[in-house]
């Protein structure tokens, strides 16, 4: 009936309004599949269709580039399926495969089918089904919540489908099947059911190096020949310094943006460290997506995030930043395989952590070093003057406010307000000059165990006067004068005595009070 059927744009059709919460795997899969399907040499007229089957899909140039590279000019064939693996990687380096999308081709041909009409429409339907299915897999919900604790990675590869990483009981969904004159295309998804995380740490931790503070950021270009490299969705710059070419001339290049929950300052610095990298996704993604070509046994990613450890080195008596030296550790690392990952992990330990990496590398990435900035955090309620340690050892809440004389009958501060501490409070020390306070209370630090302090709802403590800093500085405020025994006791008696006089005065002014009340009504 029609000799040619080609696509154009509806004049009134606007490009799709992409949500900022799109799933990266859908984009990669769509891009990969679109590229694969476009390469099918089915009919000359097929090549005239330059869009992805009547669907407004914003291609990510980097993803398209990677997909094309993975395709390497070939099509899926029997035993050589195109697979997109979606995995999760935590801030500690543990990873878990979440789902695998597989585009297979078998030899069952349908010679009679019309390409420009039937096959085209069915492929369009397949893409719509792909859109629908990508929102219902468990990985989608995980991807919506990624951030500091974990990120979602993807990898494109050709060959046999590797489902062993999905754990037991994984489920498979066949998205759709389209018969073509060259073979039958089948798109399926296998996704993990058991989301219990199992540590798959495959790297070694080296002993921490003490006292290292690295506070400069180095941009790490990614090796061009490595099969695994980050997908950082940069609008410009790649391993060769050239921007990824647009997929289609008339297609709008998807600019990257990070529009999900407000990034912490650490995330911001992470973004700056990896330019438009982890913190940047496509317009419909609001989370960092890292493209790793694959995580192999020789995973070079080494990120040391020890928990609370003993052997805390003594704090210098005159720390550079004052009595309560507040530092943060921000660990960023670039795995040797090119998978880019960074995390801010304030730890309970002090500057005993270190950064290390393996010297292995598939393609000899020149940037294997992990940068670490060590900042020590002082825990709450741990910085007390020496003479109050004994009181604290009695395990009394707010022991510093308790009266020094423990022989009092009633230690209830409400009844017997504690004396104002005679010693210099840490607050005073911190409020006054940093240098002098450091020397005066420096000796008190020896008895204290540094506890990592993470105030709730606070951002990572990079900038001064953040919530954590504020809390630490003002955690030991001076006593209120009204709570002191002398003043408190005397004022109570005086108040009681003066009550009748005050009542008499108020009774005289009853009319004024009534008039005031009437004005309020």
Partner 1 sequence: MNCRAEVLEISVEGRQVEEAMLAVLHTILLHRSTGKFHYKKEGTYSIGTVGTQDVDCDFIDFTYARVSSEELDRALRKAVGEFKDALRYSGSDGIGQISLEFYQKKKSRWPFSDECIPWEVWTIKVNVVNLANEQERQICREKVGEKLCEKIINIVEVMNRHEYLPKMPTQSEVDNVFDTGLKDVQPYLYKISYQITDSLGSSVTTTMRRLIKDTLAL
Binding site for partner 1 (CB under 8 A): 1-19, 21-22, 51, 54-56, 117, 121-122, 124-126, 128-129, 131-137, 140-141, 144, 173-178, 284
When the beta carbons of 57 and 280 are compared against partner 1, the nearer one is: 57
Instruction: Tell me which long-range contacts 392-397 makes (C-beta under 8 A, separation of at least 24).
Output: none
Q: In angstroms, give the least distance from the CB of 111 to partner 1.
A: 17
When the beta carbons of 96 and 133 are compared against partner 1, the nearer one is: 133
Question: Residue 158: in which H helix or E strand, if any?
Answer: strand 150-159
When the beta carbons of 124 and 265 are compared against partner 1, the nearer one is: 124
Strands (E), 181-326: 183-191, 289-291
C-alpha count within 13 angstroms, C-beta hemisphere, residue 286: 13
Residues in the chain: 521
Q: In angstroms, give the least distance from the CB of 45 to partner 1.
A: 11
When the beta carbons of 19 and 272 are compared against partner 1, the nearer one is: 19
Tokens 């921490």 sit on residue: 208
Q: In angstroms, give the least distance from the CB of 125 to partner 1.
A: 6
C-alpha count within 13 angstroms, C-beta hemisphere, residue 481: 2
When the beta carbons of 129 and 458 are compared against partner 1, the nearer one is: 129
When the beta carbons of 93 and 176 are compared against partner 1, the nearer one is: 176
Tokens 């960074």 sit on residue: 342
Q: In angstroms, give the least distance from the CB of 343 to partner 1.
A: 26
Handedness of CA 489, 490, 492, 496 (dihedral sign): positive
**Pairing status of strand 150-159 against strand 81-90:** antiparallel
Contact status, residue 92 vs residue 152, Cβ threshold 8 Å: no
Q: In angstroms, give the least distance from the CB of 181 to partner 1.
A: 16
C-alpha count within 13 angstroms, C-beta hemisphere, residue 410: 7
Tokens describing residue 311: 């052997």
When the beta carbons of 32 and 388 are compared against partner 1, the nearer one is: 32
When the beta carbons of 41 and 141 are compared against partner 1, the nearer one is: 141
Tokens describing residue 208: 């921490």
Q: In angstroms, give the least distance from the CB of 80 to partner 1.
A: 23
**Cα–Cα dist 141/345, whole Å:** 23
Q: In angstroms, give the least distance from the CB of 217 to partner 1.
A: 34
When the beta carbons of 6 and 513 are compared against partner 1, the nearer one is: 6
Tokens describing residue 83: 């697979």
Q: In angstroms, give the least distance from the CB of 163 to partner 1.
A: 18
246 Cβ contact partners less than 8 Å away, ≥ 6 residues apart: 61, 253
Q: In angstroms, give the least distance from the CB of 94 to partner 1.
A: 25
Question: Residue 489: in which H helix or E strand, if any?
Answer: helix 485-508
**Cα–Cα dist 288/235, whole Å:** 14
């Amino acid at each position: 009936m029609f000799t040619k059927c080609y696509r154009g744009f509806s004049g009134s059709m606007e490009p799709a309004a992409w949500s900022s919460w799109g799933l990266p795997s859908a984009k990669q899969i769509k891009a990969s599949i679109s590229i694969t399907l476009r390469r099918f040499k089915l009919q000359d007229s097929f090549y005239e269709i330059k869009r992805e089957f009547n669907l407004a899909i914003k291609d990510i140039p980097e993803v398209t580039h990677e997909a094309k590279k993975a395709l390497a000019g070939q099509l899926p064939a029997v035993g050589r399926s195109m697979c997109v693996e979606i995995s999760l990687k935590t801030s500690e380096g543990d990873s878990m495969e979440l789902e695998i999308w597989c585009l297979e081709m078998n030899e069952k041909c349908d010679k009679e089918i019309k390409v420009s009409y039937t096959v085209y429409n069915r492929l369009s339907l397949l893409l719509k089904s792909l859109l629908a299915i990508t929102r219902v897999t468990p990985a989608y919900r995980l991807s919506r919540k990624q951030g500091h604790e974990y990120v979602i990675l993807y990898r494109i590869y050709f060959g046999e489908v590797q489902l062993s990483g999905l754990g037991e009981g994984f489920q498979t969904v066949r998205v759709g099947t389209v018969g073509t004159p060259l073979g039958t295309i089948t798109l399926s998804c296998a996704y993990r059911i058991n989301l219990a995380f199992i540590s798959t740490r495959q790297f070694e931790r080296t002993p921490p190096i003490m006292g290292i503070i690295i506070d400069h950021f180095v941009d790490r270009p990614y090796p061009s020949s490595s099969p695994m490299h980050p997908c950082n969705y940069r609008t410009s710059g790649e391993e060769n310094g050239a921007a990824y070419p647009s997929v289609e001339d008339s297609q709008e290049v998807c600019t990257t943006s990070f529009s999900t929950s407000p990034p912490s300052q650490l995330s911001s610095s992470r973004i700056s460290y990896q330019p438009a990298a982890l913190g940047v996704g496509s317009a419909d993604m609001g989370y960092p997506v890292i493209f790793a070509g694959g995580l192999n046994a020789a995973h070079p990613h080494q990120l040391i995030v020890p928990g609370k450890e003993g052997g805390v080195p003594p704090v210098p008596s005159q720390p550079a930043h004052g009595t309560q030296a507040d530092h943060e550790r921000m660990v960023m690392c670039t795995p040797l395989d090119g998978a880019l990952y960074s995390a801010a992990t304030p730890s309970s330990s002090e500057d005993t952590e270190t950064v290390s990496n393996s010297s292995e590398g598939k393609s000899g990435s020149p940037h294997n070093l992990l940068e670490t900035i060590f900042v020590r955090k002082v825990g709450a309620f741990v910085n007390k003057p020496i003479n109050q340690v004994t009181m604290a050892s009695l395990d009394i809440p707010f022991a510093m406010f308790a009266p020094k004389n423990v022989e009092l009958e009633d230690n209830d501060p409400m009844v017997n307000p504690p004396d104002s501490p005679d010693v210099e409070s840490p607050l005073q020390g911190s409020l006054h000059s940093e240098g002098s306070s450091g020397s005066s209370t420096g000796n008190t630090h020896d008895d204290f165990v540094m506890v990592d302090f993470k105030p709730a709802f606070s951002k990572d403590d990079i900038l001064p006067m953040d919530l954590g800093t504020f809390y630490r500085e003002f955690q030991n405020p001076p006593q209120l004068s009204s709570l002191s025994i002398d003043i408190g006791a005397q004022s109570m008696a005086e108040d009681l005595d003066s009550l009748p006089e005050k009542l008499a005065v108020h009774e005289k002014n009853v009319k004024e009070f009534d008039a005031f009340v009437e004005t309020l009504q």
